[in-house]
Amino acid sequence: MEERRNVSHKKFGKGYITELTDSKITVHFTETALDKSFPYPAAFSSFLVYDDAEAQKEAEQLAKSVVTKQQAEKLKKERELAALDLARKKERQALAKKKRDAKAALEAKQKKEREIS
């Protein structure tokens, strides 16, 4: 996908691409003489349309793959957080058990001392 390709926008009308990076697309809209930047390729899944059907199809597929990748990353982070939460819960349970055991040992020791006296 190259600069100077024609696109259309629902609100701003027809224009052409003046800059395209991995994450941003800038379009000069001829009808309004505005330059606008949009997230790339997400813009092609909602409000930007290439005049070329093949280019539009490629952009939509790219947008879907980016969304899928983002969803996978989000799921991975959620799983990592869940694992971290579980580890913290186990640590708290182990600490609570250690405190209970220490208290029970102290009570047993005090009981034994009372029995001896």
**Confidence check: pLDDT of 3 > 70:** no
Beta-carbon contacts of 85 under 8 Å, excluding residues fewer than 6 positions away, are none
More confident residue, 7 or 72: 7
- In 1-117, at which residue ranges do the beta strands (DSSP E only) sit? 6-9, 13-20, 24-29, 34-39, 48-50
Position 42 scores a pLDDT of 87
**Burial group, residue 66, by CB count within 10 angstroms (0-12, 13-18, 19+):** middle
pLDDT over 90, % of the chain: 54
The number of C-alpha atoms within 13 Å of 24 and in the hemisphere containing its C-beta is 6
Can you give the C-alpha Rg of the chain in angstroms? 31
Residue ranges per structural domain of the chain: 6-116
- Residue range 20-75, pLDDT digits in tens: 998 899 999 998 899 999 998 888 888 899 998 888 888 888 888 877 777 778 88
Return the pLDDT at 64.
83
**CA–CA gap between residue 88 and residue 92 (Å, rounded):** 6
